[in-house]
Amino acid sequence: MTRGDVPTGPVESELITPEELRLAARNHAMPLEALRYPITPVGLHYLLVHYDIPWIDPAAWRLEVDGRVRRPLSLTLPALRERPGRTIVSTMECAGNGRAELSPRPLSQPWLLEAVGTAEWEGVPLGAVLDEAEPLPDATEVLFTGADRGIEGGIDQHYQRSLPLDEARRDEVVLAHGLNGAPLPPQHGFPLRLLVPGWYGMTNVKWLTRITVLDEPFTGPQQARSYRIRQREEAEGDPVTRMEPRSLMIPPGIPDFLTRRRTVPMGAGLIQGRAWSGWAPVALVEVSTDGGGSWAAAELGGDAASPWAWQSWSYRWEPPAPGEYELCSRATDHAGHVQPTEVVWNLGGYANNAVQRLAVTVVSC
Ligand SMILES: Nc1nc2c(c(=O)[nH]1)N[C@H]1C(S)=C(S)[C@@H](COP(=O)(O)O)O[C@H]1N2
Ligand SMILES: [Mo]
- Predicted local confidence at residue 244, as pLDDT: 98
Bridge partners (DSSP) of residue 86 are 123
The CB density around residue 15, as the number of other CB atoms within 10 Å, is 10
Write down the H helix ranges in 116-259: 126-133, 165-168, 221-224
Burial, 62: exposed, middle or buried (Cβ in 10 Å; 0-12, 13-18, 19+)? Answer: middle
The one-letter amino acid code at 166 reads D
Q: What is the block-wise mean pLDDT of the chain (365 residues), using blocks of 10 residues? A: 62 91 97 98 98 98 98 98 97 98 96 98 98 98 98 97 98 98 98 98 98 98 97 96 98 97 97 98 98 98 98 98 98 98 96 98 93
The one-letter amino acid code at 7 reads P
Q: What spacing in Å lies between the alpha carbon of 84 and ligand 1's midpoint?
A: 25
For residue 47, which ligand has an atom nearest its CA?
A: 1
Q: Is 201 in the pocket of ligand 1 (CB under 6 A)?
A: yes
Given a contact cutoff of 8 angstroms between Cβ atoms, the answer to whether 1 and 17 are in contact is yes
Q: Which ligand 1 atom sits closest to the C-alpha of 207?
A: 1
* Pocket probe mutation, ligand 1, options 23, 27, 40, 50, max atoms within 8 Å of Cβ: 50
Domain 246-363: give its CATH code.
2.60.40.650
pTM for the full predicted model: 0.97
Q: Is 202 in the pocket of ligand 1 (CB under 6 A)?
A: yes
- Predicted local confidence at residue 1, as pLDDT: 43
Question: Considering only CA atoms, which residue is closest to atom 10 of ligand 1?
Answer: 202
- Predicted local confidence at residue 217, as pLDDT: 97
Q: Tell me the C-alpha distance between 3 and 89, whole Å.
A: 44
- Predicted local confidence at residue 155, as pLDDT: 97
- Predicted local confidence at residue 5, as pLDDT: 59
Q: Is 46 in the pocket of ligand 1 (CB under 6 A)?
A: yes
CA 91 to the chain's CA centroid: 8
Under CATH, what is the fold of the domain 10-239?
Sulfite Oxidase; Chain A, domain 2 (3.90.420)
3-state secondary structure 48-100: CCCCCCCCCCCCCCCEEEEECECCCEEECHHHHHHCCCEEEEEEEECCCCCHH
Q: What spacing in Å lies between the alpha carbon of 76 and ligand 2's midpoint?
A: 28
Torsion of CA 113, 12, 95, 356, to 10 degrees: -30
Q: What spacing in Å lies between the alpha carbon of 300 and ligand 2's midpoint?
A: 28
Task: Write down the domain spans for the chain.
Answer: 10-239, 246-363
- Predicted local confidence at residue 12, as pLDDT: 85
For residue 52, which ligand has an atom nearest its CA?
A: 1
For residue 350, which ligand has an atom nearest its CA?
A: 2
Torsion of CA 161, 162, 167, 172, to 10 degrees: 40
Q: Is 227 in the pocket of ligand 1 (CB under 6 A)?
A: no
* Pocket probe mutation, ligand 1, options 114, 204, 207, 350, max atoms within 8 Å of Cβ: 204
- Predicted local confidence at residue 52, as pLDDT: 98
Pick from 161, 183, 169, 182: which is nearest to 129 by CA?
A: 169
